[in-house]
Amino acid sequence: MTARACAIALILAGCTSAARPNSIDSVDIANFQRQSREIVQRERECEKAVLTRAQDPPAPVAPGSSTAKAQPLEPVTVQNVAQCREQATQENERLAARQRAEYERQARQERDRSSLMAILTTSLQH
């Protein structure tokens, strides 16, 4: 490769590397944060729906009756709330896996760019 071609390749590689940030960019971070907030919101809504259904009176209570006192949660309700939390945990794990994969992809790209720059720089010296 001629010195001129190497110089052009070096400049292009440098421009490409400068155009792409080394770490995950703010748009990706914001997207992951938004998705995390959505998971938390869905979990809260699920729990609220379960608790609302559990607190709905099964039958009308006579006025002045003392049977309308707060009842402990039934095991089915506790199980349903646990299911809401388990679903949110699974969604968070999938989101974290996607985030790790994105970091790994970008790290691999950066290593590839660095290798290319080292090769180009070395070839210019010969």
Q: What is the pLDDT of residues 85-111, one digit of tens each?
A: 999 999 999 999 999 999 999 999 999
Cβ 24 vs Cβ 106: under 8 Å:
yes
The mean pLDDT of the chain is 79
Q: Where are the alpha helices (DSSP H) in 20-55?
A: 26-55
At 71 the pLDDT is 59
The tens digit of pLDDT for each residue in 56-71 reads: 766 555 556 555 555 5
- Dist CA 107 CA 14 (whole Å): 16
For the chain, domain boundaries: 3-54+73-125
pTM given for the model: 0.61
